[in-house]
Structure 1
Amino acid sequence: MTDSTSKVTFSRARDRAKKQPSHKKRPSPRQNSRRSLSKAKTELNPTKLPKFRLLLVWGVMVAGCVGLGWRLYQLQIVQADELRQKARQQQVINVRPYIPRRTIVDSQGNVLATSRLTYSLFVHPQLFESPKEKVATKLAQSLGDTTEQNLLEQFRRQKTGILLSASLTEDIAEKIKKLNFNGIDVQERYSRFYPQQEMAAEAVGYVDREYKGQAGVESSQQPLLERNSTSFSLRSSRDGTIVPAYLPKNLLNFDHLQLQLTIDLRLQRVARSALKQQLRKYHAKRGAVIVMDATDGSLVTLVCEPIFNPNQYHRSQVELFKNWTVADRYEPGSTFKPINIAIALERGAIEPNSRFYDSGSITVDGWEIYNATREKFGSLSIAEVLQTSSNIAMIQIMNRLSRKDYYKSLQKLELGKRVGIDLPGEVAGSLKSESEFSAKAIEAATASFGQGFSLTPIKLVQLHGALANGGKLVTPHVVRGLVDAKGYLHWQPSFKTHRIFSPKTSREVVEMMETVVTDGTGKPARIPGYRIAGKTGTAQKAGASGGYIPGAKITSFVGIFPVESPRYVILVVVDEPKGENTFGSTVAAPVAKLVMEALISLKGMPPSQKVTDE
């Protein structure tokens, strides 16, 4: 091969190399290092932001910090107490153990009211797994006071929460539990039980299903009947688990004191029996018997008929829950005449030996007034005025006082005030205004024989108690105090007294009232060997809208004995007796006699040393 041929071949190879793409040279390590450094500097030095954007970001951050600080101040300082209290409410459970109400006993320690464990029966038909017919059959057999059909009807009307009984006995409750039916719930609870039933319901009252007193001392003495109990706290963890905590010392220790009443259950039974018999005999609307110890105002007997059974109060008429001896007013009639005699003696308007002429009628402000029997009694001593119950003589006696003085004397008796008895629902008496009373002579005339104003039976007992104890108004009450199991008195209420008559006046009037029983209308109340003072009353019955109800009357008798040492006041009131011979002497006085005979026997009272009998 020649040289020229070799040159041509090299030239072609060079031309092909030019036509082919050339490859880049790989950078050296030093060049790579320089490039990485340059790139890092670019990343560390971003593009510079505008100034307003920096200020905006800075402002947002500052505002956020200030807001958080302010909120922290609100939570830690301002709302600290409130939040702490909420936390405690969520974390702590307050527990107060159940402590039964105090037992109520009479003056002799007989239980009148106590708490006992009873059972409530609820059924939930939607949870029954057995046929409803089978459940109804078994329950009817266990309860005994319902039928299978009646239960099935209840199951159809309601799917859950049916209360079948609120007072199951323990043996019945256990029998139902043994049935093992799903959907039957027997719940234990405490309820009030009254072993004497209606015998002392006027004073005791009753407790409802919420365990709240609704009448009698169960209502008025709620603070005394509810024992003081200490509540304690249990702390709960975050998951609701109860954590044991400190318990107060003597937590479950409580006193065993009982609330003792002044009522004597023995005399209560006698009074109720005698009153019920008389109400049936004269077909009367209602009646009451009150016996008060005038030395301190304690009520030995308080009977109203008709009355309710506190164990079954829900079956009684609502009006029976009201003790009308403290809640209803009436015009006392002639039983108020001894009080008027005491007023006249106290004012010096008459003397014990004064005499007045009863002509049988008298006209006052155009009104013709007669005696209740339409009789004319002629010349009468003060004692004979009470014996005959002369309206005519009473008008003449009270006319010796100016109307203003007479009115002030009635005000002194506190006729317009409550007596303050420890029973609920008491109302004050009703006395007309002084201007109205003084404007017309007929007002003083009717007031002289116990009409034209009204008071409660308990107020009349209080006034006659003042005659018995030497002139002092005592507070009638049924609560003796708190006693322990041995009868020792740990607490007793205190009452104020207020003098309205002098001892001399009181004594003179009581001795005059004795002649009413020995020689006057009160003879049916006489008891051989005992000196008894009394006064009968037969008053017209005022209507609710004014005037008097035609043919309706209220008969009553008030007695004080023994006369030689007056202590007890007895009031018998019979409302609306039916028949011809219905007077205080025929309807009320015989009841008072039976009550006094029982009182003599129970208290062991000896016969009077000086007895005035026919």
Structure 2
Amino acid sequence: MDTPRQSIRQKRKKPLSQQLKRSSVPYFRLLLVWGVLLAGGLVLAGNLYHLQVVHSSTLLRRAQQQQTTYIRPFVPRRQVVDRNDNVLAIDRQVYTLYVHPRLFKNVLEAESVAKKVAAMLDRPTSDLVTLLTDGYNNDRNRGIRVASALSEEVADKLKKLKANGLDLVQESSRLYPQEKVAADVVGYVDRDHRGQAGVEYSQQKLLERSAESYKLRKDGKGVLLSDRVPENFVHRDETKLQLTIDTRLQRTTRIALREQMQKFNAKRGGVIVMDAHDGSILSLVAEPSYNPNEYFNFEPHAFRNWLLADLYEPGSTFKPINIAIALEEKVIKPDDVFPDPDVIKVGGWSIRNAEKEDNLALSITGILQHSSNVGMVQVMQRLKPDVYYNWLQKLGLGKTVGIDLPFEARGQLKNQAKFVSSPIEPATASFGQGFSLTPIQLVQLHAALANGGKLVTPHVVRGLIDNQGRLQQPNLPQPKAIFSPQTAQTVVKMLEAVVLEGSGKASQVPGYRIGGKTGTAQKANIGGRGYQRGAVITSFVGMLPIESPRYVVLAVVDEPKGIAYGSTVAAPIVKSVMESLISIERIPPSQPIPKE
């Protein structure tokens, strides 16, 4: 009988074939696992080599692109202010309201939201209810634009509704607090924030602040890393564009102009007030005008500042300039006297005075007082035509004045050969016909009489001013001397006589010495041939104070109806404007006129 130890030994001593047979399956699996692991390791190593060595530069560049972003911060357009720092244009944050009808639970919710929104927007409830319910019933997938340029106050009220389907999109908008008051000068910007008129257009480079892009880092979730944001990222440039315009004078000037235009049922009108010493414009008003906050509601012609962009024949308002030319050339003396018949013949043409008067003879001052065309023809006939033409060119006729507002038209002057060879051309030019200029150029020429004989550049931009009050002024051309101070002073004295005893009496302001000249010019037909029957442009250009002239005021009214002359239509406007100017500038009363 076998012992227990012997039986155990017998069990252990099994045939080798049986032992290999039982262990062959696990051994194969072991080899298979090791083979897979080895192959995977080789693949991973190869892929790692491929990524880290072969394509390392490409992947590094791609990673940097994913972790880096370039942001250009929003920088608002510079403010525009008048000379007293009153805001004329400023950027503000506004909101556009969109409604998504498909987000409403039912039509009742759409109707309820519509009623609440209508009350906040001051819109007809029925219109908004119809819009939103129709949108819900038609299952619109796109948002409906309901209102734009909403203020933050209105937007906050809409947000508090917490209504489904309401979407407020924040954007920047340009606001013009003075509305129509300074629209002719300031202009407006379109929806893309690009200037389209006024200084908004001409001073685009000064109004747009420079904003460079910043390179920022992001984390794996795309969130900006705050420690990588540069310190000056939210820096604000407080520099403003300051104009020479006075809003107070601009407002009173527009009122005075409108009253006369309504009284005489005029087509259009304009007023310019300029400092004759440096060319700065205190007021520039053109009617009809527009509200730059709602420019889209006006026709394109409303944006055209015709005081700069349109030409006209100045008529009698150019006579003082011609007198200055004749005095400067010494072909006349201030005390010369000329016969004043009703008609004078020039080159087969008859030239008459605007009004028939029984004047046998007139002095130079009398020619201006009575605005005698016949007298002016005789004065300028003493000047050689080529010399006269050279003077007109010297004055800048046929050119622009270079004002810093856009779309200024170039004056028209006939070619020299025609002017010199035809006697009628110098004759008609003597009383302001046969050539054309802009109202702003006429102001420039009269300013040369007021300031002692220098042509200054009209401008509305005073410069860039920072929050410390430091001013960066633009470079303007140096004044150009054209008349001697003696000639300018002589003509100014004659213009005072026009206001005291001539056609400019309606511009008199008690206590102040004023000079000026009326004009009632025919309107040339389109194309320049002949004149429109019954159509005139009335004007008056004045200056004050005569003892030390500084301000020039021009009023022009186009196609007034009724008894319409420069003396009846334009002169009263200048008087009203001068009264406001005296108050605003605190101009002291004039001293009594010295007796000769």
Question: Would the TM-score normalized by the shorter structure come out above 0.5?
Answer: yes
Q: How has the CA–CA distance of structure 1 residues 164 and 607 changed in structure 2, closer, same or farther, with 3 Å as cutoff?
A: same
Counterparts of residues 182-331 of structure 1 (less than 5 Å): 182-235=164-217, 246-331=228-313
Cα deviation code 1:33-64 (max 9, x no counterpart): xxxxxxxxxxxxxxxxxxxxxxxxxxxxxxxx
Q: How has the CA–CA distance of structure 1 residues 88 and 552 changed in structure 2, closer, same or farther, with 3 Å as cutoff?
A: farther
Q: Quote the residue 1:465 is aligned against.
A: 447
Q: Is the 8 A contact 2:449 2:492 kept in 1?
A: yes
Q: Quote the residue 2:12 is aligned against.
A: none
Counterparts of residues 114-513 of structure 1 (less than 5 Å): 114-131=90-107, 132-149=110-127, 152-153=130-131, 156=135, 159-235=141-217, 246-485=228-467, 488-496=469-477, 497-513=479-495
Cα deviation code 1:323-362 (max 9, x no counterpart): 1111111111000000111111112221112221111111
Structure showing greater Rg: 1
Distance in 2 between the 1:474 and 1:549 partners?
34
Pairwise CA distance, 1:244: 6.1
Q: Quote the residue 1:67 is aligned against.
A: none
Distance in 1 between the 2:471 and 2:557 partners?
38
Q: Quote the residue 1:556 is aligned against.
A: 539
Distance in 1 between the 2:64 and 2:191 partners?
32
Pairwise CA distance, 1:530: 1.6
2:78 corresponds to 1:96: no
Q: Is the 8 A contact 2:115 2:128 kept in 1?
A: no
Q: Give the TM-score taking structure 1 as reference length.
A: 0.82
2:289 alignment partner, SS class: coil
Distance in 2 between the 1:125 and 1:357 partners?
85
2:520 corresponds to 1:538: yes
1:110 to 86, 91, 102: 86
Alignment-mate amino acid for residue 470 of structure 2: L
Distance in 2 between the 1:468 and 1:489 partners?
30
Q: Is the 8 A contact 2:217 2:228 kept in 1?
A: no
Distance in 2 between the 1:299 and 1:391 partners?
31
Q: Is the 8 A contact 1:227 1:254 kept in 2?
A: no
Distance in 2 between the 1:354 and 1:159 partners?
86
Distance in 1 between the 2:310 and 2:125 partners?
43
Q: Give the TM-score taking structure 2 as reference length.
A: 0.84
Cα deviation code 1:182-238 (max 9, x no counterpart): 332111222122222211111111222222222111221122222233420124679
Alignment-mate amino acid for residue 553 of structure 1: V
User: Which sits farther off after the overlay, 426-435 or 136-145?
Assistant: 136-145
Unaligned runs of 5+ in 2: 1-53
User: Which sits farther off after the overlay, 432-441 or 293-302?
Assistant: 432-441
Distance in 2 between the 1:86 and 1:426 partners?
53
Q: How has the CA–CA distance of structure 1 residues 464 and 160 changed in structure 2, closer, same or farther, with 3 Å as cutoff?
A: same
Pairwise CA distance, 1:551: 0.7
Distance in 2 between the 1:611 and 1:104 partners?
42
Distance in 2 between the 1:189 and 1:206 partners?
17
Pairwise CA distance, 1:368: 1.5
Cα root mean square deviation, aligned? 2.6
Pairwise CA distance, 1:381: 0.9
Q: Identity over aligned residues, as a percent? A: 55
Counterparts of residues 54-93 of structure 1 (less than 5 Å): 92-93=68-69
User: Which sits farther off after the overlay, 174-183 or 587-596?
Assistant: 174-183
Cα deviation code 1:150-208 (max 9, x no counterpart): 56358559752432211112232222223333332111222122222211111111222
Distance in 2 between the 1:405 and 1:185 partners?
72
Alignment-mate amino acid for residue 562 of structure 1: P
Distance in 2 between the 1:249 and 1:499 partners?
52
Distance in 2 between the 1:394 and 1:416 partners?
22
Distance in 2 between the 1:170 and 1:130 partners?
29
